[in-house]
Amino acid sequence: MNLYSDLLRPCLFRFEPETAHHLALTGLRLTPAPILRAMFGAPAEKPVRLFGVTFPNPVGLAAGMDKNAEVLGAWEALGFGFVEAGTITARAQPGNDKPRCFRFPPQQALINRMGFNNPGAEAVARTLAELKSSGRWPKIPVGMNIGKSKVTALEDAPSDYAASFRQLLPFGDYFVINVSSPNTPGLRQLQDRDSLAAIVRTLKAIDSKKPLLVKIAPDLSDDAVKDMASLAESEKLDGLIATNTTLDHSSVPAGHDQTGGLSGAPLRSRSTEVLRILRAHTALPIIASGGVMSAESAREKLEAGASLVQIYTGFIYRGPGLIREIVGVWEVSKSV
Ligand SMILES: Cc1cc2nc3c(=O)[nH]c(=O)nc-3n(C[C@H](O)[C@H](O)[C@H](O)COP(=O)(O)O)c2cc1C
């Protein structure tokens, strides 16, 4: 019997996705780490060193699952090699109206339009400071994914990102500028060269040592992806995350579509294509995110030039066993 697919997933899938998400986070908060470790077993050690940070294994939890950094220790206990908190914005905001997350089990996909619901950078920084002083800070690297507050005008984006960056600076092992969520109006326009360069320069003026990455959309044209690689080089970014969710819903059956970003199996091939284009144009580290649902799809990312992978939808459908499966096939020598 598989604990996740035979027991936990059927229970969680009886609830609508956001309720299931809250139940899962509550379960993780209440279950002591040694019990989580005993339930799922530790993955092999496959350390990867990138931008001065050592990752005990290459499989990370993608942004959006632990938006408010509430259960960081649990992800380590489940076997993740790193976790990315967020997206966190400078201002507290409720996100879009519910329901705003939808499952598509036959397609092994999700659509979400959460809209960066979070209590704001100052509140998350308080949570993180408490965790630090409790002595229960996880031993795996923690990334901080920051986004623009909905009420902030696009032209004021640099100072909005800067406010979150300042608050969270002591806590992140690396930082991600999220300019690729489809659920904040206009956000993706910040992928435009000048806008993005202004954000990067503002953050680098505050701190030039923390590894800084940009997470990009799979819906950029191939030329725009090439431009992104060149911008990453010229602005001295430490890496890129490819990719966020897609607005291509062609895999969703007619009559069942929902507004939002699509993730999971149907995203895999475009996300890998974007990764290949980036790899052909830059030697910077790339974290692959998008449709990693199996060891085989993770290998595809590795072969295409990823240094690390992140999972979200695969974790929902496959559970913690997927981490071990991927770690098992990852060849460290192939990591950039
Ligand atoms: C419900 C949900 C919420 C998400 N929230 C965020 C977010 O806040 N910030 C972000 O950068 N990505 C967010 N993502 C995107 C994931 O981090 C990931 O990049 C994307 O889902 C593709 O990976 P996957 O196919 O493994 O899910 C979210 C995804 C889902 C399904």
Work out the average pLDDT over 278-290: 98
Ligand 1 nearest atom to the CA of residue 293, by list position: 26
Tell me what pLDDT residue 188 has: 84
Residue 211 reports pLDDT greater than 90: yes
Q: Please report, rounded to a whole number, the percentage of residues in the chain having pLDDT higher than 90.
A: 90
If you take atom 15 of ligand 1, which residue's CA is the nearest one?
A: 244
HEC secondary structure over 138-202: CCCCEEEEECCCCCCCHHHHHHHHHHHHHHHCCCCCEEEEECCCCCCCCHHHHHCHHHHHHHHHH
Residue 91: name the closest of 144, 143, 157, 25 by CA. 157
3-334 fold = TIM Barrel (3.20.20)
Record the pTM: 0.96
Residue 128 reports pLDDT greater than 90: yes
Tell me what pLDDT residue 279 has: 98
If you take atom 21 of ligand 1, which residue's CA is the nearest one?
A: 263
* Residue 292 CB–ligand 1 contact under 6 Å: yes
Dump pLDDT digits (tens) for 165-195. 999 999 999 999 998 888 888 788 877 889 9
Tell me what pLDDT residue 290 has: 98
Work out the average pLDDT over 319-328: 95
Residue 257 reports pLDDT greater than 60: yes
Q: Residue 334 — very low, low, confident or very high, per pLDDT cuts 50/70/90?
A: low
* Residue 181 CB–ligand 1 contact under 6 Å: yes
Q: Which residues are tagged catalytic? A: 181
Q: Residue 300 — very low, low, confident or very high, per pLDDT cuts 50/70/90?
A: very high
* Residue 64 CB–ligand 1 contact under 6 Å: yes
Q: Residue 1 — very low, low, confident or very high, per pLDDT cuts 50/70/90?
A: confident
Work out the average pLDDT over 36-48: 89
Work out the average pLDDT over 25-30: 96
Dump pLDDT digits (tens) for 218-232. 999 999 999 999 999
* Residue 313 CB–ligand 1 contact under 6 Å: yes
Average pLDDT, the chain: 95
Question: Residue 243: in which H helix or E strand, if any?
Answer: none
* Residue 178 CB–ligand 1 contact under 6 Å: yes
If you take atom 19 of ligand 1, which residue's CA is the nearest one?
A: 244
* Residue 183 CB–ligand 1 contact under 6 Å: no
* Residue 272 CB–ligand 1 contact under 6 Å: no
* Identity at 74, one-letter amino acid code: A
Tell me what pLDDT residue 217 has: 96
Q: Residue 272 — very low, low, confident or very high, per pLDDT cuts 50/70/90?
A: very high
For ligand 1, mutation pick of 93, 104, 244 (most atoms within 8 Å of CB): 244
* Lowest mean per-residue pLDDT among 1-5, 76-80, 187-191: 187-191
DSSP strands (E only) in the chain: 48-50, 53-55, 59-61, 82-88, 101-104, 109-112, 142-146, 174-178, 212-216, 239-242, 261-264, 286-289, 308-311
Q: How far is CA 238 from CA 50, 113, 173, in A?
A: 9, 29, 12
Ligand 1 nearest atom to the CA of residue 265, by list position: 25
Task: Give the integer Cα–Cα distance in Å for 303 and 286.
Answer: 12
Tell me what pLDDT residue 134 has: 95
Tell me what pLDDT residue 333 has: 55
Ligand 1 nearest atom to the CA of residue 118, by list position: 8
Residue 150 CA to ligand 1 centre (angstroms): 18
Q: Residue 213 — very low, low, confident or very high, per pLDDT cuts 50/70/90?
A: very high
CB-count burial class (<10 Å; 0-12, 13-18, 19+) for 133: exposed
Which tokens in the block code for residue 57?
């294994």
Tell me what pLDDT residue 210 has: 97
For ligand 1, mutation pick of 146, 180, 312, 317 (most atoms within 8 Å of CB): 312
* Residue 264 CB–ligand 1 contact under 6 Å: yes
Residue 335 reports pLDDT greater than 70: no
